[in-house]
Amino acid sequence: MAAELRKYPRFRAKEGALAAFAASDHGNFSVVGEIIDISSGGLSFRYLPSQGQPAELPFMEIIGYREPRVRLEKLPCKVIYDSEEPDPFGFGVQTRTKRCGVQFGALSQGQRSQLEDFVKSYAESSPDV
């Protein structure tokens, strides 16, 4: 069994949690996907590859569209992996979705606080093992 290498506990995301990459400051998102899991150090999300490539973009946004509505902007990040995810929904159909793992960069104290609040509102209460 492989040893766990994550520095922070990872939590499964609840419905309504999105990750987004914007190609510019105009709010036009080039990649948007559903967050799968999240921690203080990063997250993974599922998206459709026809939208673009998140690896080319150094900042991301996290959006919670349920109550409470939350938007964390310009989070520095680095893409750790970006791979095709075969049939993530269990329908027996190739959906060609991708799964992207992101590590957060140096967050400001305000961003860290917002991220902690987001995790409290949009993540399951026990760590994902």
Rounded percentage of the chain residues whose pLDDT exceeds 70: 78
Mapped onto helix, strand or coil, the DSSP state of residue 32 is strand
* Least confident residue range of 36-40, 88-92, 93-97, 110-114: 88-92
In a domain, 63, yes or no: yes
- The domain of 36 spans 11-122
Identify whether 1 is part of a domain.
no
Q: What is the dihedral of CA 92, 15, 12, 99, to 10 degrees?
A: 50
**Domain annotation covers residue 81:** yes
Domain count across the chain: 1
**Inside any domain, residue 2:** no
Query: Is 3 part of a structural domain of the chain?
Result: no
CATH number, domain with residue 22: 2.40.10.220
Question: Cβ distance 98 to 88 under 8 Å?
Answer: no
Q: How far apart are CA 8 and CA 40, in angstroms?
A: 6
pTM of the model: 0.82
Kindly state whether residue 64 falls inside one of the protein's structural domains. yes
Please indicate, yes or no, if residue 129 is contained in any of the structural domains: no
